[in-house]
Amino acid sequence: MGGRAAAPLPASDVAPAAHRGLGALPRSTPALAAFQDNTCEDWSGVSQPGEDLQSAILDNADLSAGNLAGAILVNASLVNADLSGTSLANTNLAGADLSAANLTDADLAFANLNGTLFDESTVFPSGLDFDSGDWGLPGDATPWDLGMIPAPEPAIGLMLAVGGVALAAVGRPRR
């Protein structure tokens, strides 16, 4: 077994998608589509109004300055996506995940945001984060007025699991 070690793969071949950077990859398909994974791809300026993009995976994608008005993005994953300046008017985003997404200057007029997830890192159309209280949503609505749901912190699940194990250990009879 005393041979030479294989040369390491280039970083781009082994780096997880989340670490490659926002929109760092070229477009892998001619168009966005439902159930398709376009993670980390540069789709800036995309124009696909009214398209069915349900359950699309667009994490870390650059969708800035695009036109997705009237699109169906139900249950789409847009985690850390750049949607700045994008027209999302009349778009159905029900159940989509906008955690850490950038919505600065996005047009959300008449968009369905019911059940859409957001977190403390989501940048709202006003260009400010959740803590600002100035979200720039249509009609000066709050995220709750539009049916948006705060995404639970990942640490909450860990805390619940540790607490459950501790409770189980305390309730166990001793010998």
Q: What are phi and psi of 122, to 5 degrees?
A: -65, 130
pLDDT tens track for 69-114? 999 999 999 999 999 999 999 999 999 999 999 999 999 999 999 9
CB 120 within 8 A of CB 129: yes
With b for 16 or more beta-carbon neighbours within 10 A and e for fewer, the 131-162 pattern comes to eeeebbbbeeeebeebebeebeeeeeeeeeee
Four-CA torsion 104, 15, 38, 93, nearest 10 degrees: -40
Fold classification of 20-175 is: Pectate Lyase C-like (2.160.20)
Beta strands 149-150 and 117-118, pairing class: parallel
CB 20 within 8 A of CB 40: yes
The pLDDT of residue 82: 97
pLDDT tens track for 112-169? 999 999 998 999 998 766 667 778 888 888 888 999 999 876 666 666 777 778 787 7
Contacts of 63 (CB under 8 A, 6+ apart): 43, 44, 46, 78, 81, 82, 83, 86
In the predicted model, what is the mean pLDDT of residues 23-29? Answer: 94
Q: pLDDT band at 174, cuts 50/70/90?
A: low
Domain ranges of the chain: 20-175
The pLDDT of residue 157: 64
